[in-house]
Amino acid sequence: MTKYFKKTNIIIMALAVFIIMLLTGRGRQVKAASGYSGKIYKSAINLKSQKSTSAKTIKNLKKGTKLTVYSTSGQWRKVKAGDKTGYVAKKYVYIHTTAPKLKGSTYHKGEIVSSFAQRFVGNPYQWGGTNLNTGTDCSGFIQSVYKSFGYSLPRTSSSLRSAGRGVSYSNKQPGDIICYDGHVAMYIGGRKIVHASSKKTGIKISSKANYRKVLAVRRIVK
């Protein structure tokens, strides 16, 4: 009977934690904030009504045109230029790396960092790179995202295992660094990570944070 009550209490406690996570938003994926700033770079390009090169051209955008970026899907970004909203090829959009201010609890600060990191999904992977727009590798991605918030982090995936302070995998929260053998990623909630994955995929979101053996989880924000 004692074992039965102990098991029942464990189930009740686990259920209570789950309910709290749902009510507070903990456990849900943090998504990129909509409406961040960018500009057209490399060359002039056309603003399209749909995500297709054959779609109607809404407006001709010169190099340097300021944009509001709403989202990224495949090879396209939804943007607003002046009073016109449409789609442009993502490779022509430079996303500004000025980060929002960190405020609130440690958890909320982590959400801000992870939301910011997702602005760069779809951008290229570049071995040895640290540029969030033109190319970065896995550790360069993490280092550069946190640099935008004023943090100075180590450069390699192995050295990042000692950055900040360690937390258990079960206590991970958005913004935490997930360290693997030869790779690092950022946890964004909902069991998902954002990372500079490979030359083929670039910066992307993966649906399983423990898709590889996790060696360490490091929390940077305080």
11-25 exposure pattern, b = at least 16 Cβ within 10 A, e = fewer = eeeeeeeeeeeeeee
Which residue is catalytic, options 96, 108, 179, 195? 195
Pairwise CA distance, residues 196 & 204, whole Å: 6
- Please confirm, yes or no, whether 183 is among the known catalytic residues: yes
Per-position DSSP letters for the chain, written without gaps between them: -HHHHHHHHHHHHHHHHHHHHHHH-TTSPP-PPSSEEEEE-SS-EEEESSSSTTSPEEEEE-TT-EEEEEEEETTEEEEEETTEEEEEEGGGEEEP-PPPPP-SSHHHHHHHHHHHHGGGTTPPB-TT-EETTTEE-HHHHHHHHHHTTT----SSTTGGGGSSEE--GGG--TTPEEEETTEEEEEEETTEEEEEEETTTEEEEES-TTSS---EEEE---
Q: Annotated catalytic sites, by residue?
A: 138, 183, 195
